[in-house]
Amino acid sequence: MSFQPVKFYQTGTFTVGNRLLEPDQRSVQANMERTNSLNSGHRACQGCGEALGARYAIDAAMHATNKQLIAANATGCLEVFSTPYPETSWQIPWIHSLFGNAAAVATGIAAAMKVKRKKGLVGDVRVVAQGGDGGTTDIGFGCLSGMFERNDDVLYICYDNGGYMNTGVQRSSATPPAARTATTMPVGPEPGNPFGQGKFVPAIAMAHEIPYVATATVADLRDLEHKVKKAMTFRGARYIHILVPCPLGWGAASRDTMKLSRLAKETGLFPVFEAQYGEITNSTKIRRLLPVEEYLRPQKRYAHLFGKTPAVETIARLQALADKNIRRYALLDKEAN
């Protein structure tokens, strides 16, 4: 666990709030006065993980920066559902430019703020860039890498829902193997998304040796908030990769958004960890290890694995990926298990 877990308190660490804790130990989301950086009335689908993740992350960043925050947003679901003319859901200074340039736009904002601060015109205004997995791991990757390499003072947050959901659920480089998308249909000898080499951007971010890299899911709010707040204690390039289920794209019930995030982590398919300057410093341990089927089954994008003849081999390959994550990121607590 990347922070002091709450022990012996009925619900411990995992609920959003905990009336038994001192106010300063409670989560940002539990606060009646939370910013609601992403306001009601946005047009995200029911149960949207990205809408939730964005509010969690940006509210936490607002809290950490005393509301001195500007956000740059890549094109994608988050942008489209939050800012269709004539209404915006954002309550913070926010800009959307293009699909692939959020990191660079944020660099520009950070540069402007640096100069203006030097001139005494503004206080310590911090910058976040945010985008989906398409805008981050694919089209925005060049700008992202550039921002990392220059170590610009930007926190980049990727909301990973594993595909181009806004355009109708096409495959991205973050789409997991075997998943059905509109461009990787479950047909032919290798149904669903092919098993490629993978492109795990948190690891690539670590290769840039930037001050802080973390992964998180919307299911573990305290962990997520901790990471955003911690990211804000660093200067330079920071990257947080948040898994956000997409009920539409994953073919899941809208009420299952949290459950699926939890299962992604508990099966080991999505490793949750922190790294500083290229070294892993912490991994959030799996609490109740489960086989990958538990995660795959509730999602229609994997339905073809569970047909009349279950795709045992494919499931085994996915399990192997989870097992590899568990080893590589030390996801099991040796003492506890």
149 lies in the site for another protein, by CB under 8 A: yes
The least distance separating another protein from the CB of residue 183, rounded to whole angstroms, comes to 22
The least distance separating another protein from the CB of residue 306, rounded to whole angstroms, comes to 22
State which of residues 3, 36, 319, 332 lies at the interface with another protein (CB under 8 A): 36
165 lies in the site for another protein, by CB under 8 A: no
User: Which structure tokens are listed for 58?
Assistant: 């940006």
State which of residues 42, 180, 238, 301 lies at the interface with another protein (CB under 8 A): 42
Q: Residue 184 and residue 196: Cα distance in Å, rounded?
A: 13
Query: Closer CB to another protein, residue 120 or residue 196?
Result: 120
Query: Closer CB to another protein, residue 80 or residue 280?
Result: 80
308 lies in the site for another protein, by CB under 8 A: no
- Running DSSP on this structure, what letter comes out for residue 108? H
Q: Residue 296 and residue 38: Cα distance in Å, rounded?
A: 30
Q: End-to-end alpha-carbon separation of the chain, Å?
A: 15
State which of residues 60, 77, 78, 89 lies at the interface with another protein (CB under 8 A): 89
| Footprint (CB under 8 A) of another protein, residues 205-244 | 221
Q: Are strands 126-132 and 94-96 parallel, antiparallel or unpaired?
A: unpaired
Stretch that binds another protein, among 49-57, 186-194, 231-239, 296-304 (CB under 8 A): 49-57
Q: Residue 71 and residue 41: Cα distance in Å, rounded?
A: 19
Stretch that binds another protein, among 30-38, 208-216, 295-303, 310-318 (CB under 8 A): 30-38
State which of residues 1, 3, 98, 323 lies at the interface with another protein (CB under 8 A): 98
Collect all residues with Cβ–Cβ distance below 8 Å to 49 and sequence separation of at least 6: 159, 161, 218, 243, 244, 245, 246, 247, 257, 261
125 lies in the site for another protein, by CB under 8 A: yes
70 lies in the site for another protein, by CB under 8 A: yes
Stretch that binds another protein, among 47-55, 170-178, 185-193, 322-330 (CB under 8 A): 47-55
State which of residues 19, 235, 300, 327 lies at the interface with another protein (CB under 8 A): 19
Residue of 183, 188, 180 whose CA lies nearest to 304: 180
Q: Which residues of 96-106 are buried (b: 16+ CB within 10 A; e: fewer)?
A: bbebbbbbbbb
State which of residues 25, 87, 190, 310 lies at the interface with another protein (CB under 8 A): 87
Q: What are the distances in angstroms from CA 258 to CA 13, 50, 141, 262, 321?
A: 15, 11, 28, 6, 22
- Burial of 114 per CB tally in 10 Å (0-12, 13-18, 19+): middle
93 lies in the site for another protein, by CB under 8 A: yes
88 lies in the site for another protein, by CB under 8 A: yes
